[in-house]
Amino acid sequence: MASALDELWELGHDRVALARAGRLAENEAVGAPTGIMDQLAAMLGRADAAVFLDCRSLESEVVDLGFREQGLDMLVIDTGVTHAHATGGYRERRAACERGAAVMGVTALRDLSLDDLARAAELFDDVTFRRVRHVVTENQRVLDAVDALRAHGAGAIGDLLLASHASMRDDFEISIPELDTAVETAVAAGAIGARMTGGGFGGAAIALVPSESAKDVTDAVTDAFAASGFSAPRCFTVTPSDGARRDG
C-alpha cells in the first residue's frame, strides 16, 4: 500500500522510508510493538535471495540463496492457529528483553555477545536469562547463516534452522505443539532443516526441502497433524522474489 500511494501521489520516498511508515502504522495504529523486519523484507527483497538486515542502522545486504541451483524449495506449513501480537505473550517477551538489556547495561540485547551469557546467568532468574540467551544466540545464528550461505549455499543452513527452532521453543517459549509437530515431522520426512517463523504462539513453520521431497514432506505433516487431532495444515511452497513493485 505504501509503495502504491508513493507512486500514485508522486511522493518520492525511498524504500526504507516506506518501510518505516509501515512499522509506524503497525506500532501506533494497530498497537503491536513489532520491529521493522517484515516491512523491509517486503520492500528490499530480491529474487532467490535473502535480506541481511541490521534493524538498528537499517543497513541491508542481499545474500544469494541459490535455491534453484541446489534444487531446494521453501515449504510453508501454516498451522492455522491464529495469534495476536498486540497483546499477550509477544509484548511480554519484548518487555523481558528490554529489562534484560537494562540490567546488562546496554541499549539492546544485540550489544551482547555469547561471552556475556555467563555474567547474565548470574544476574537473572531462570526465565529472564533464557529470554536473553535466545536473543543473543539467535543473533549469532543469523551471522553464522549468512557466512554459510555465502560459502556453501542454502543447503548448509539446516542445522542452524533447527537450533533456531529449539531456542524459540525452549528459551523464548513462543512455539506451540502444532509448530513443534510441523518441524519435527518435516525433518523426519526429508527436510534439510525447519523452524517456526514469525512472532510465535501460532502461525507457520518453514521447512527447507529438496524439491523432489516437497510432496512427501507435505503428506507426512498432514498425516501427523491428523494423528495428533490438530486441524489440517495448509502447506505450500514460496519463492523468494523481488520486493513491492507495480505488477503490469
- Residues tagged active-site: 38
**Rounded to whole angstroms, how far apart are CA atoms 183 and 173?**
15
Query: Beta partners for 61?
Result: 52
Are the C-beta atoms of residues 70 and 234 closer than 8 Å to each other? no
Assign residue 200 a region: left if phi > 0, alpha if psi is -120 to 50, beta otherwise? left
First to last CA, the chain: 16
**Rounded to whole angstroms, how far apart are CA atoms 207 and 214?**
9
Query: Beta partners for 74?
Result: 208, 238
Q: If we measure between CA atoms, which residue out of 110, 194, 182, 206 comes closest to residue 157?
A: 194
DSSP secondary-structure letter at 93? H
